Structure formats: C-alpha cells, structure tokens
Amino acid sequence: MRIAIVVARFNDFVTERLLAGARAGLTDAGLADGDVEVWWVPGAFEIPLAAECVAASGRVSAVVCLGCLIKGATPHFEYIASACAHGIMAAASKTRIPMSFGVLTTTSAEEALERAVEGRGNKGREAAEAALEMARLVAASGDAR
C-alpha cells in the first residue's frame, strides 16, 4: 500500500510534529519509508487541491491531510477551516480515494501542541490510522485502485 501525506507549512512548529506522528503510525502499520510520499503546501487552504492532485495520480491508496489553524492568530480562521474541510471531502468524493482530516483547529498554540505530542494523542498519527483503515475498507469493497 502507498500513502500520501499532504502537510501545510503554516504553523510548521506544529505540523512538523503532526507529520512525525503520521509517519510513525504508518511505520508501525508496516509501511516502508518508500511507500510514503510527502507533499508540502503553503497553508491549510492549499491542502485540498494538492490532495486531489496526488489522489488523481493513481499512485496512492489514501491521503493523510495535515495542517494547523490557530484561531487567535487568524482572523479569517473560519473561512480557511471551512474551505479546507469541505475541499478535502469534495476531493475524496471526486477521486474516490480516502482522505483523512488531520487539520487542527485550536484557539491557541498551546492547545495545538497538546494535540501534536509524541505517541498516542498525536492527531497526525490518528489521521494516518484513519486513512489506512479507510484504504483497506475501500479495497475490500472492490473499489480499490
């Protein structure tokens, strides 16, 4: 199985940790480093298009989407968060490739860091596990690529 991770650079002091958690989750599930491709994008707003592009390439069974929106620092937080969530769902529906939502929406940097701890509780790891579960489900349904 090959998996893509699309990760936003904005707030990379958090997203780097989400990426590490996602990579650890995929490694623990038996994937080799070579089975994982990482796409960096500027911010959460750009995640859906990159996720759709990599899904449409036919190379991957699922896409893990990682980002971090911090309300205090982002006046148009709701717009970006909503566009990101709806865009990811639309991209998954269009390509029929599962995409998981590991995009934090918090009120402070402290809250975000709490969700990016090492090990269990890291939302990047949880998003990777969800993507794998969905990829297996889609494969079992006979709709696998």
- Contacts with ligand DLZ, residue ranges (CB under 6 A): 8, 10-11, 42-46, 67-70, 73-74, 80
For the CB of residue 75, give the shortest distance to ligand DLZ in the complex, in Å. 7
Q: Position 16: which residue type?
A: E
Place of tokens 């490694």: 27
> Using CA atoms, how far apart are residues 95 and 145, in angstroms rounded to an integer?
10
For the CB of residue 76, give the shortest distance to ligand DLZ in the complex, in Å. 7
Ramachandran class of 119: left when φ > 0, alpha when ψ lies in -120 to 50, beta otherwise: left
Please provide the distance, in angstroms rounded to a whole number, between the alpha carbons at the two ends of the chain. Answer: 10
Name the residue whose CB lies closest to ligand DLZ.
Answer: 43
Closest by CA to 2, choosing from 28, 32, 22, is: 32
Closest by CA to 39, choosing from 15, 21, 14, is: 15
For the CB of residue 117, give the shortest distance to ligand DLZ in the complex, in Å. 19
The residue (of 26 and 44) whose beta carbon lies closer to ligand DLZ is 44
The residue (of 45 and 101) whose beta carbon lies closer to ligand DLZ is 45
Q: Which of 59, 76, 96, 145 is catalytic?
A: 76
86 is catalytic: no
The residue (of 61 and 106) whose beta carbon lies closer to ligand DLZ is 106
The residue (of 70 and 130) whose beta carbon lies closer to ligand DLZ is 70
Structural tokens at position 119:
């090990």
- Provide the annotated active-site residues: 76
